[in-house]
Chain A
Amino acid sequence: MNEKEIIIRLKKIVEPYVQRMEGLKNFREETDFLNDLQINSANLVDVVLDVEDEFNIEIDNDSMEGMLTVGDAKNIIEKKLAN
């Protein structure tokens, strides 16, 4: 799975939780979940659980805490898929 594919799948997962649609139009690695997409911490948990299901990986507390942007999420997914 290449980077582009991960980001496309990620966008699909994130979409139902986004409060700021403008942020979704400009979905890229720098996109910040909290500020650009206005996903709150409670909904970010659901994003992470959906990511676990979609990619069949497990995300631990430390990874979760470092997941602030789309790029962070992509890196974590890539790392977990490589293991």
Chain B
Amino acid sequence: MDSTSIISQLPYSEPFLFVDHILEVDENSIIGEFTFLPEMEFYRGHFKNKSVTPGVILTECMAQIGVVCLGIYLLNTENKKENLSQVALTSSEIEYLKPIYPGETVRVVSEKQYFRFNKLKCKVVMYNAEGSMVCKGVIAGMMIKTQ
């Protein structure tokens, strides 16, 4: 399953799609990238005087690449081409280490902790273009399949 077909199955679109490419994916891990364009709407208000990518958006980017894209891959390969119909974030515990400014490209690396009974829990790390850790933590979601 290639990067384009994973992204085409994502239940998000602009302005809430935070995945550009999937670089690597297998049954235990995934690596993806996203570039935060300076024209993104939330920069107008976060903050009033200086644009910084909000932590919740970084978390969303980590969840979309690290949990949802990996979940789509796992459902498609392990479970006989089942498609994802709905997804729900169920928990996240993230530590934020460095800011991400408009125009920066981030790389998200996620490792599966388990995928059981439709729940996917992953250890997810985000890096900036220099390879420094931006944030890290654990995110889980429920993958609801089409019958």
Which A residues contact B (CB, under 8 angstroms)? 40-43, 45-46, 48-49, 61, 64
Contacts and interface: CB of A to CB of B under 8 A. Distances in A.
A48 B140 CA distance: 16
B116 A45 contact: yes
Q: Is the interface of B mostly helix, strand, loop or mixed?
A: strand
B140 A42 contact: yes
Contacts of A61: 117
Given A42-B140, A64-B117, 18 more contacts: A40-B90, A41-B142, A42-B88, A42-B90, A42-B91, A42-B119, A42-B142, A43-B90, A45-B116, A45-B117, A45-B118, A45-B119, A46-B119, A48-B116, A48-B117, A49-B114, A49-B116, A61-B117
Sort chain B's interface into a size bin. 10 to 19
Interface of A is mostly: helix
A46 B88 CA distance: 16
Contacts of B114: 49
